[in-house]
């Protein structure tokens, strides 16, 4: 059994296989997931696990260079946006329309679906390098 870090084998595997600029998505329970992208479905019930709990856990193990959210998060879910900003601590964050965001998910290595019910609680994380 793994002693520290992410114990979900699928998430751990995806993170360990990421190369520079590869992307993963952490999403709320409603984001459409492209059929060809690996789906890691953690959603158990409303709010479990939460988007932020999942994001903070992934950030412990993944070297993130850039991140992207939907512009709609800024106006529809400003409290969530503030939490995302606090969690990213200096990681470059851009925003695009929700429609463009959904198109960008097609290039992700995996989408991690949470039980989050907050609108637009979705993020694309782009892998950096540790050297």
Contact in structure between 116 and 29 (CB atoms under 8 Å):
yes
- Annotated binding residue at 98? yes
CA–CA separation, 2 and 90 (whole Å): 29
> Among 13, 20, 94, 106, which one carries the catalytic annotation?
20
CA–CA separation, 51 and 97 (whole Å): 19
- Annotated binding residue at 120? yes
- Show the tokens assigned to 47: 């709010």
Pairing outcome for strands 123-127 and 64-70: antiparallel
The strand ranges marked E within the chain are 23-27, 38-41, 64-70, 92-96, 110-113, 123-127
- Annotated binding residue at 85? no
- Annotated binding residue at 43? no
- Annotated binding residue at 127? no
CA–CA separation, 122 and 113 (whole Å): 9
Does the annotation mark 20 as catalytic?
A: yes
**Residue positions in the annotated binding site for substrate?**
28, 98, 120-122
Report, as residue numbers or ranges, the catalytic residues. 20
**Residue positions in the annotated binding site?**
28, 98, 120-122
């Amino acid at each position: 059994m793994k002693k520290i870090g992410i114990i979900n084998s699928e998430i751990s595997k995806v993170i360990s296989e990421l190369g520079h600029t590869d992307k993963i998505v952490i999403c709320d329970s409603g984001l459409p997931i492209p059929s060809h992208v690996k789906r890691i479905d953690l959603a158990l019930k409303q709010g479990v696990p939460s988007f932020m709990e999942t994001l903070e856990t992934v950030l412990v193990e993944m070297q993130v260079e850039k991140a992207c959210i939907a512009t709609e998060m800024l106006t529809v879910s400003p409290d969530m946006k503030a939490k995302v900003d606090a969690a990213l601590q200096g990681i470059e964050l851009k925003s695009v329309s929700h429609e463009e965001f959904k198109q960008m998910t097609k290039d992700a290595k995996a989408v991690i679906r949470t039980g989050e019910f907050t609108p637009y609680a979705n993020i694309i994380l782009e892998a950096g390098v540790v050297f």
